[in-house]
């Protein structure tokens, strides 16, 4: 039943591929491609062409881009130094699996978390959005504070993201689409529109997460 709902959700939105234009306001607009014509940027997608002042666009992000992991810093072991403590796990995917197991979430919750993290940050612990969302699960500082987490600590970031996603699934009676929309746009927007709000960014976000979730075996 859930898989059918997710597939219907995908077909309700346009097929996605290409890039995102990141505006100075923090908004991200999806496009298949763009052209710079003097002081104007043209964004092309299947629905047509959108023109924006070039000054309004800060950067472009490739869709589904996963940056390579940064190499570990070089360390030197001083002579007669005490044995350092065992390092904390810093593999985001391993931490996501562990957080999903601890969360007592629904079946395939770990797969859903992986898809959210991929679309949110590309699993990059140092990712910071134009709006200020931090880390792998892209927590806003106020949200992290409410959940009692330090968003710059990778494990706390992921645990808080798992808690938030589980709370949203519980609030919307297991409706993955509404939960994802609320994760991106906030619960107030989802409640006001009784579903995915008519925001291009949120619709693209839900589409991307749902597609990845189904592709990786989510039911």
Rounded to two decimals, the pTM is 0.61
Cα separation, 120 vs 206, in Å, equals 11
**Cα angle: 30, vertex 160, 108; to 5 degrees:** 70
- Domain residue extents for the chain: 1-13+89-219, 17-62
Mean pLDDT lowest among 61-75, 137-151, 160-174, 180-194? 61-75
Residue range 183-192: mean pLDDT, rounded: 96
> What's the pLDDT at 76?
67
* Fold of domain 1-13+89-219: Lysozyme (1.10.530)
Q: Kindly state the helix (H) or strand (E) to which residue 217 belongs, with its residue range.
A: none
Note the residue count of the chain. Answer: 219
86 vs 104, higher pLDDT: 104
Residue 76 backbone phi and psi in degrees, to 5 = -120, 135
* Residues designated catalytic: 120
Contacts of 212 (CB under 8 A, 6+ apart): 114, 115, 118, 119
Residue range 61-67: mean pLDDT, rounded: 66
Cα separation, 27 vs 20, in Å, equals 10
- Give percent of the chain above pLDDT 70: 84
Q: Is 91 within 8 Å of 114 (Cβ atoms)?
A: no
> What's the pLDDT at 58?
86
For the CA atoms of 145, 151, 157, 159, what is the dihedral angle to 10 degrees? -20
Residue range 181-190: mean pLDDT, rounded: 96
22 vs 196, higher pLDDT: 196
């Amino acid at each position: 039943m859930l898989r059918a709902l997710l597939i219907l959700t995908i077909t309700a939105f346009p097929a996605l591929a290409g890039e995102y234009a990141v505006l100075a306001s923090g908004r991200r607009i999806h496009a298949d491609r763009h052209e710079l014509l003097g002081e104007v940027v043209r964004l092309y997608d299947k629905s047509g062409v959108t023109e924006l002042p070039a000054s309004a666009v800060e950067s472009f992000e490739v869709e589904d881009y996963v940056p390579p992991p940064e190499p570990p810093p070089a360390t030197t072991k001083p002579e007669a130094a005490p044995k350092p403590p065992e390092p904390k796990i810093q593999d985001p995917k391993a931490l996501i699996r562990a957080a999903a197991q601890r969360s007592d979430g629904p079946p395939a919750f770990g797969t859903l978390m992986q898809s959210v993290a991929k679309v949110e940050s590309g699993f990059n612990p140092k990712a910071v959005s134009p709006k200020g969302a931090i880390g792998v699960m892209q927590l806003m500082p106020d949200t992290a504070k409410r959940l009692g987490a330090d968003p710059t600590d990778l494990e706390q970031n992921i645990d808080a993201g798992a808690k938030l996603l589980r709370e949203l699934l519980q609030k919307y009676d297991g409706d993955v689409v509404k939960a994802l929309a609320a994760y991106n746009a906030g619960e107030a927007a989802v409640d006001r529109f009784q579903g995915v709000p008519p925001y291009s960014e949120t619709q693209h976000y839900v589409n991307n997460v749902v597609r990845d979730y189904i592709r990786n075996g989510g039911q």
